[in-house]
Amino acid sequence: TCFKALCCKGPPPPRPEYDLVCIGLTGSGKTSLLSQLCSENPENIVSTTGFSIKAVPFQNAVLNVKELGGADTIRKYWSRYYQGSQGVIFVLDSASSEDDLETARNELHSALQHPQLCTLPFLILANHQDKPAARSVQEIKKYFELEPLARGKRWILKPCSLDDMEAVKDSFTLLINLLEERELEPSRM
């Protein structure tokens, strides 16, 4: 037993798990970002029809992320898959057309106000920042009218692109901090 005590530290404590929903228009990069975070092969990514679930490992937590496909025909069913979510990831293409940006804004506003999501932490990723046409995070914040709409809510808006995954991981760490804070709230104990 003495030898065992010296050599076997035992299994590490389990990491907390959180259930998240990931939404955003088709082509915004949801599957690409989540696949990179899971160290999966970035080739062969096809548009998500329906939904797809991935367990994304981080140092202090595991995020069970349910990505909902963003095609026009699927978006109307998004809200059926919100139940049980503890947080939201919204991905947008910062270099998209004006029309698509407006659609993304409307979808984000609906999500922020949805009864099953309105109290949850949001991570909003302004993706495709590597493209010359990408709007800055300041422009997006203004265009999306986030300050007046989401006052008092916990949301994080960060620029990102597939070619800087370290920045993406840092943004997820901020989201995990919000999820942990939420767990410690007295009202939920």
Ligand X SMILES: Nc1nc2c(ncn2[C@@H]2O[C@H](COP(=O)(O)OP(=O)(O)OP(=O)(O)O)[C@@H](O)[C@H]2O)c(=O)[nH]1
Q: Which residue ranges make up the annotated binding site for Mg(2+)?
A: 31, 48
Options 161, 168, 172, 179; binder of ligand X; rule CB under 6 A: 161
Report the C-alpha gap between 170 and 189 in whole angstroms. Answer: 28
CB nearer to Mg ion: pick between 27 and 153? 27
The residue among 121, 123, 134, 142 whose CA lies nearest residue 163 is 134
d(CA 170, CA 81): 27
* Least distance in angstroms from the C-beta of 159 to ligand X: 10
Q: Of the listed pieces 68-76, 82-90, 105-113, 143-151, which binds ligand X according to CB under 6 A?
A: 68-76
Residue 157: CB minimum distance to ligand X, A: 16
Nearer to ligand X, 30 or 66 (CB): 30
- What φ, ψ does residue 122 adopt, rounded to 5°? -115, 135
DSSP calls for 161-177: -TT-HHHHHHHHHHHHH
Name the site residues for ligand X (rule: CB under 6 A).
Answer: 24, 26-32, 45, 47-48, 69-71, 91, 127-128, 130-131, 161-162
